[in-house]
Amino acid sequence: MGQRTIIPFGPQHPVLPEPIHLDLVMEDEKVVEAIPSIGFIHRGLEKMAEKKDFQEMAYIAERICGICSFIHSMGYCQAIEALLKLEIPKRAEYLRVIWSEMSRIHSHLLWLGLTADAFGFESLFMHSWRVREKLLDLIEETSGGRVIFGVCKVGGVRRDVDAETLRRALEALAALEAEYREIAGVFSRDASVKRRMTGIGVLPKEDARALGAVGPTLRGSGVAWDARRLQYAVYGELDWAPITEEAGDCQARCLVRIREIFQSFDLIRQAAGKISDGPVAVKVPGNPRGEYFARLEQPRGEVVYYVKGNGTKNLQRFRVRTPTFANLPPLLKILQGCELSDVPVIVLTIDPCISCAER
Amino acid sequence: MPHLVIAKLLTKSAARKPSTRLYPAEKRAPPKGARGRLVMKQIETCVFCGVCGKKCPTRAIAVKRTDKTWELDRLKCIVCGECVEICPKDCLAMEGEHATAFVAKKIETHVQKPKPAASDPT
Ligand code: SF4
Ligand code: SF4
């Protein structure tokens, strides 16, 4: 046995957009074990539910994460709507799906850029973000906000998208898809990208299941589970299937996300084709009482929302199990035995969102 | 394995004009409906009902009926637009352009001028 050393990784590290700390126990260049510590950006957002009106909480839920913001508020609203036994208008459901898919594309593009940056492919990083910027413009045009959409509320959505704006958005999305195709080609075919990702950080299918991986981390290991299959909102009316890759390595997780972006473009088109006219919100009757778990698929994986109301305007308990939290145990597993130089790329392939994980 | 797959993308991008803008010399016009910043459009019509302040999720607005003042703490405002939607007198508006950065905390105060004394019986 060689001599063991501990190398600290994070909380400040060039590849980490957010702070997490790993103690890497090394034997020469190999990682033997990774010991995590989290808690650098805990903000106590769950506790705020006890002080804030349950309708205002939608804004706070949205701020749990700056990237998958929309789906956070959607999850919260779905949970509260279930407690209130509130059926929201079809049009609102469709708009929610359109915005969630836009948010998925923007999150995945952000991830592609960060990953390219992690293995030192600067120009690919810039190009991914160039395309993402145009998508942010579309989000702003339809919802009014670029990153924090601010459109989801208990009982529906806060603004309607008129037919003309929707048509223009679809046109712009089609152009964007063509631009994205070129970037996707680089990620899936380029030799230098492959060398950094193929065969690195393999998470076998059984481990992915046993350790409770979610999202692209799970699907990259060949498990066809996607929380959208629960058919919340109008996912049951759209034609799609979870995307999986068998290899379980970094490349597989990357390919899942690449293909999911195409799928999201398609889902937006389908939803826009099926959307019907009508109101976008209903009145909220009274206060929530009871408990509910809502499960949704975020760009990073399955998120679970737990709410407990006691019939007053403040919730008694609000709890979020975010995808990054579930993906940390698989991450620690795949870090075992990898090379030190691969650590940044492996950490990024679970798409860590520490703000989410700590709330 | 194919090398330099990005070459095509790079050639195209070299022939194109830059994707970035020379901010702040060159500014982007915000799209219609963008939520940039909240403005008090017309304090003259405000009736100081205070609904905007009650509806505001961050309590960024303070309305004082006695002094006829309407105050906004811009650093608290999350530009959600709830107040604009609720105002019965249509005094508030949302502009697409973002508020600029601050160097110090301050409260923006709007005071309604006293009405001209035309109906004053004395
Ligand atoms: S809601 Fe409108 S009228 Fe009432 S206090 Fe606010 S700005 Fe004035
Ligand atoms: S825009 Fe929203 S946060 Fe800002 S003052 Fe109005 S209600 Fe409050």
Parent domain of A160: 44-326
Q: Is B75 at the interface with chain A, CB within 8 A?
A: no
Q: Which of B2, B34, B81 sits opposite A189 (nearest CB)?
A: B2
Q: Does residue A283 lie within any of the structural domains?
A: yes
Which contacts (CB < 8 Å, 24+ apart) does range B42-46 have?
A: B42/B90, B42/B91, B43/B70, B43/B91, B43/B110, B43/B111, B43/B112, B44/B112, B44/B113, B45/B89, B45/B90, B45/B91, B46/B70, B46/B89, B46/B91, B46/B110, B46/B112
Q: Do A190 and B3 touch (CB under 8 A)?
A: yes
Q: What's the pTM value of the predicted model, to 2 decimals?
A: 0.87
The yes-or-no verdict on residue B5 having pLDDT over 80 is no
Task: Out of B87, B108, B112, give the residue to mutate to test ligand 1, the one with the largest number of ligand atoms within 8 Å of its CB.
Answer: B87
Q: Read off the CATH number of the domain in which A222 is found.
A: 1.10.645.10
Into how many domains does chain A fold?
A: 1
Q: Cβ of B8 under 8 Å from any chain A Cβ?
A: yes
For atom 1 of ligand 1, the residue with the nearest CA is B87
Q: How far apart are CA A10 and CA A21, in angstroms?
A: 5
Question: Does a structural domain hold residue A331?
Answer: no
Q: Which residue from A163, A140, A160 is spatially nearest to B35, judged by alpha carbons? A: A140
Instruction: Give the Cβ contact number of residue A24 at 10 Å.
Output: 20
Q: Which residues of A121-130 are buried (b: 16+ CB within 10 A; e: fewer)?
A: beebbebbbb
Q: Does residue A1 have a pLDDT over 70?
A: no
Residue A43, CA distances (Å) to A63, A277, A358, B86 in order: 11, 40, 7, 30
Q: Summarize pLDDT for A248-302 with one digit per residue, the tens.
A: 888 898 999 999 999 999 999 999 888 888 888 888 888 888 888 888 888 988 8
- Chains A–B, number of C-beta pairs less than 8 Å apart: 60
Substitution target in A45, A130, A140, A168 with the highest count of B β-carbons within 10 Å is: A140
B1: confidence class by pLDDT, cuts 50, 70, 90: low
> Token pair for residue B24?
């702040």
In a domain, A344, yes or no: no
Residue A18's pLDDT band (cuts 50, 70, 90): confident
Structural domain contains residue A182: yes
Nearest Cα residue to B70 out of B88, B85, B51, B57: B51
Residue B68 DSSP label: T
Could you say which ligand is closest to the alpha carbon of residue B79? 2
Query: Does ligand 1 come within 6 angstroms of the Cβ of B38?
Result: no
Tens digit of pLDDT for each residue in A296-313?
A: 888 988 889 898 888 888
- Let me know if residue B117 belongs to a domain: no
Structural domain includes residue A263: yes
Instruction: Provide the CB-side half-sphere exposure for A344 (13 A, CA).
Output: 18
Report CA(B13)–ligand 1 centroid distance (Å).
50
Compute the radius of gyration of chain A from its Cα atoms.
20
CB proximity B78 to A under 8 Å: yes
CATH, residue B83: 3.30.70.3270
- Total domains present in chain B: 1
